[in-house]
Every structure is written in structure tokens, then in C-alpha cells.
Structure 1
Amino acid sequence: MIRKTIIGLLSAGALLSVPVLSMAEEAGDAGMLSRKSPEKIISERLKQARPEIQFGEPRPAPVKGLYQVQVTGGPTLYVTPEGDKFIAGEIFSIDANGFSRFEDPYVVEERKRLLAKIDPKDTIIFKPKQKTKAVVYVFTDIDCGYCRLLHKQIHAYEDQGQKKPGYNDLGIEIRYLAYPRAGIPSASADKLITAWCSKDQQGVLTALKNDQQVPPAKCDKNPVAADFKLGGEIGVNGTPAVWFPDGRLMPGYMPPEQMAQALGI
């Protein structure tokens, strides 16, 4: 899992490998740091500590006094202005009804902007036979168990002997984006490329998710690498990840009726 890999790279043990400055060097650095912005300090410190990790641009976090940095393909870091400590994880709101996952309005708006730029022709679409009530984008991987479960429930399905409506039956249009968890290049990426480069994209994607053998296919213009990069930039670190029209990004599998409720349909 990419998330586990990133967290491993960010672990305390890994960070201990960063060279420790002498007192004189630290005193000199303190003077230099005082003349730099917190954003500049944080960027420099993160890149110095872990040059192999791709960090986004720091900006003020919703938690007062901290700055946030998105790790491409990994967690959001909440960093001190001095760039000497960070917290990796999610923010939750506390209210009278309990706890709820906090979505930063700035991040949500940025996701909406990026969502509007996606060409539907670059996605693999499963559209309701009747009226479409809502469109969601789903970052998917071929070999992910919950991705396969979600795909099996696009249409009506059996659950403990009871027939239930699938996403399409509830008016939800699924537009798939590619996110090979193993990265690029990888066998997972090759399978996704095969699906996107096939004439029957829906049929091939379904066959691959059902673990059927499909001849490999390649084409110059496939969106797999671009989708993978986009997912990492907006905070995807696992699959499936559901991208709602209002900019929310929900990690993990959601049953059809739960997704319809979250969409307000």
C-alpha cells in the first residue's frame, strides 16, 4: 500500500537518519530562518529531511499556528512554523452530535476546480439506464478487493439473500479514474492501461476485475499516468477513493445506498 510506504518513510526511525546539526550550525541557521517565511522554512526542511518524497506547497492549516503540506500519494502533514515537527493524519470537528471528518474549504474548492477540468472521454463510464441523478468519480485499481466489490454493485446485487439496488439503479453515474496502487510502472498499471486502451473499455475493465485473462493492450494516449498523478495531488492514498461533485473526497468503499444518502439523492 502506498499509504503504508509513505508513512514508513515518514516514521520517527526514518527521520533519525537525518544528520544532526552542531550547536554552532543551529545558531547560524536560527538567524537565517528568522529572515525566511514559514512556508519557505518548512519546504526547505522537509526536502532536506526526505529528498525522495514529493511534498506540496505549504500553506496555513485549519488548525491555528500550523501549516499543512500534502504528501503526493500520502497523508497531509500539519507542520510547525519552524519546520521542526509535524503531525500526519486527519482533522476532525467536534460538535454536539459527535465527531466528523473535517474538510478544508480551500482543498475542497481546489478539488472542484480540478474536477471541472476532467474530460469525461478520459474516464470509463457506467451510466444509469434511467435518469442520472448524480455523477461521482472513482479512483480505482484492478487488484483492489474493495474496488472489485464496488464494481460488482454497479447494478443490482444479492446481499445475504436479499436483492439490493446498485449504484446505477439509484441514479448514480460512476466515472472511473485510474490509480494503480503499486505505482507506475507496475503490473497493476499495465492492467489499467489495457482497460483504457481497449475498444470495449467497460467489458475489459469488468473482465479484469473478475480476474479473467485479457490480452494486454497499449496505446499512446491513455490517462493512467495523469490520473495517478492527479490522485496523489488531491490526497488519494488508497483505492477506491470516491470524488464527489462538491469536492469531497471519501476514502474507501461505500455501499450504493450509503453513497446515495451522502449525495442527497
Structure 2
Amino acid sequence: MRSNRITLDYLVKTLRHSLTLLLTLLFVAACKPPTPDAADKAAVDKAAQATAVAPASENPAELAAVRAAVKANMPDLDPEQIRSTPMPGIYEIQIGMNFGYVTADGRYLIAGDLTDLKTRQELTEDRRRDARVALVEKIDREGFIEFAPENMPAKYTVTVFTDVDCGYCRMLHRQIKDYNALGIAVRYVFFPRSGANTPSFYQAEEVWCSADRKAALTRAKSGIDLNSDKSCPNPVMAHLQAAAELGLRGTPSIVLPDGELVPGYRPPADLLAVLQQKNAEQALPPAPTG
């Protein structure tokens, strides 16, 4: 008899091999087109979104037992990737940017996102945002090429994973002075979508090895072949690996200060509106949880 049940083993393998699949996507990803204008979660309770929900149980002995039960089925899993959730008897598993939830006996796994329907808080996405922030912070601060406002302090700093050959990346860069004029600093990280050891990858290395990296990046994004040295120590491979860990599929990919991912090109005024809305939400007092 045909069964419509998805086995636990299948879901476990899906999570375990997710980063391998994302690395494969690096070679087939295309530029992300502009994101259509839309009301930015207008129907969602902004105050409720700001509410931090504590796990239902932080009993160390109970959590240790859950970790042991889960590792019996997933022996390669780091115990620290298994955490409590606000739901009694349900525990979170994290592998890269992928999340699932398991029962306390380690037998049943739910592949999907967890949302608090009362507060409208996207608990899993909150975890992803925190994970993105942590991963971006691991990138060496000397590994960015930053375009910042010259005559005033930056109000916002965003991290943009970029490909020198991507059309929408070039469109964004042509407006870099407009972003800066609005108080937005842009930290570029290389994401050659064609993968390692390809013309785009080598051109990113040439940009990095240039005496004036900002000028070289601007020339490269204008379609000028640099034909320069690429033999210096550079972070391009590390950037490519970071893009894979983040699960990025296209460029430009914009990581906001709180870890939210904005895929695709956003005009300067639109990106400013998103950042201002973020600030407004974070300024709201926490909503009651009772």
C-alpha cells in the first residue's frame, strides 16, 4: 500500500544535507530582480512582534535527555544545535539556516517554521535573523569594501553580498552615492554566483588586490575588465562560503543590521523606508504576554 507519510529519516537527511544543496545552488543562481512594492507587514501587530518569548523550560537535565535522544538518530549533530522552545515537549534543531522541531523522545521531527499566533511573532525567523547576524559578524572587518557617507556619520549600515557581473548589483552600485546621502553605509561582501575559479571569482580577487579597492570595484561594476593581479591573500573564497552558509540564492542580497535578509535590489528611498520601519518597530514597548 502506498504511504503518504514522510519518514523521519528522510527529513533528517534533508536537514543534514541542506548546506551541500545550497553550495550547489551557487552555480545556478541568477540575479534577483527588484522586490515589488508592498505594505510592509501592515496588518501585523508591531508591538507583538517585538515581544521576546522565553523557552517554556530550561531544565538542564531535561534538555540533556532530549539531546541524547535526538543524537541517537542524528549522531553528527552538535548538542548546542538542540534548544528549548516555548512549546512544552517540543525542541528546536538548527543546521545552518535550516530549522526543525523534535519531540522530547527524539523520535518525531517537524520540518517548518514556528509562529506564535497570539503575538504574531515569527519565532523561527527570529532565530534565523540572530544566526545571520552572528555569521556576518564572523567576517573579518578588514574583509569588507565599505562605501560610507563622507560628511556625516552613517545612520544605518547594511551588508550587501554582491557579484561584479550581476546587472541589479551594478544598478545598486550606480546609486551608491544616493544611499550614502540618505545615511546608509554599504559594506560589500563578494558573492560570485558562478562559483570558485570562474571569471567572476577571479575579477573579485582582482578588485581585492587593487591598490584602491573602491575604485576598482566601481570599474568592475561598470563592465571594465581589470586585467590586474589576483595573487594577493584575499577573502573571496571565505565570502563565497559565508554566502552558502546563509543560504543565499541570488545577488544582491542585503543583510540588515538585525539580520533580516532583503533579497534583490532596493532603490535608495525604499531601503531607507525599510530601515526606518525597523527602527520604529524596535522602539515600541514590548507587548504583554499574558
Normalised by the shorter chain, which TM-score bucket?
A: 0.5 to 0.7
Match of 2:246 among 215, 234, 240: 234
The root-mean-square deviation of aligned C-alpha atoms, in Å, is 3.8
Distance verdict in 2 for CA 1:191–1:40, change over 3 Å:
farther
Asked if the contact 2:23–2:244 (Cα under 8 Å) also holds between the matched residues in 1, the reply is no
CA distance in 2, matches of 1:254, 1:92: 27
Q: Report whether the alignment pairs 1:259 with 2:280.
A: no
Asked if the contact 1:120–1:175 (Cα under 8 Å) also holds between the matched residues in 2, the reply is no
What pairs with 1:1-265 in structure 2 (closer than 5 Å)? 5-6=24-25, 37-39=69-71, 41-42=73-74, 59=82, 68-70=93-95, 76=98, 78=100, 104-131=125-152, 132-155=154-177, 166-264=178-276
What is the deviation of 1:111?
Answer: 3.0
What is the deviation of 1:61?
Answer: 9.6
Asked if the contact 1:138–1:174 (Cα under 8 Å) also holds between the matched residues in 2, the reply is yes
C-alpha offsets along residues 196-239 of structure 1, whole Å, 9 cap, x if unaligned? Answer: 11112112111111111211321332111111112222332321
Distance verdict in 2 for CA 1:128–1:58, change over 3 Å:
same
CA distance in 2, matches of 1:129, 1:94: 44
Distance verdict in 2 for CA 1:83–1:154, change over 3 Å:
farther
- Give TM-score scaled by structure 1 length: 0.63
SS in 2 for 1:135: strand
Distance verdict in 2 for CA 1:84–1:204, change over 3 Å:
farther
Asked if the contact 2:146–2:186 (Cα under 8 Å) also holds between the matched residues in 1, the reply is yes
Note the residue ranges of structure 1 that are not aligned, 5 or more in a row.
8-34, 47-56, 156-165
CA distance in 2, matches of 1:83, 1:218: 51
Distance verdict in 2 for CA 1:62–1:187, change over 3 Å:
farther
Give the fraction of aligned pairs with identical amino acids, expressed as a percent: 31
C-alpha offsets along residues 89-138 of structure 1, whole Å, 9 cap, x if unaligned? Answer: x7788789xx9977633332333334344443321111112212111111
Note the residue ranges of structure 2 that are not aligned, 5 or more in a row.
1-20, 27-66, 280-290
Distance verdict in 2 for CA 1:214–1:232, change over 3 Å:
same
Instruction: Write the letter of the residue equivalent to 2:196.
Output: I
Asked if the contact 1:140–1:241 (Cα under 8 Å) also holds between the matched residues in 2, the reply is yes
- Corresponding residue of 2:53: none
What is the deviation of 1:150?
Answer: 1.1
Distance verdict in 2 for CA 1:255–1:102, change over 3 Å:
farther
Distance verdict in 2 for CA 1:183–1:130, change over 3 Å:
same
Distance verdict in 2 for CA 1:213–1:58, change over 3 Å:
same
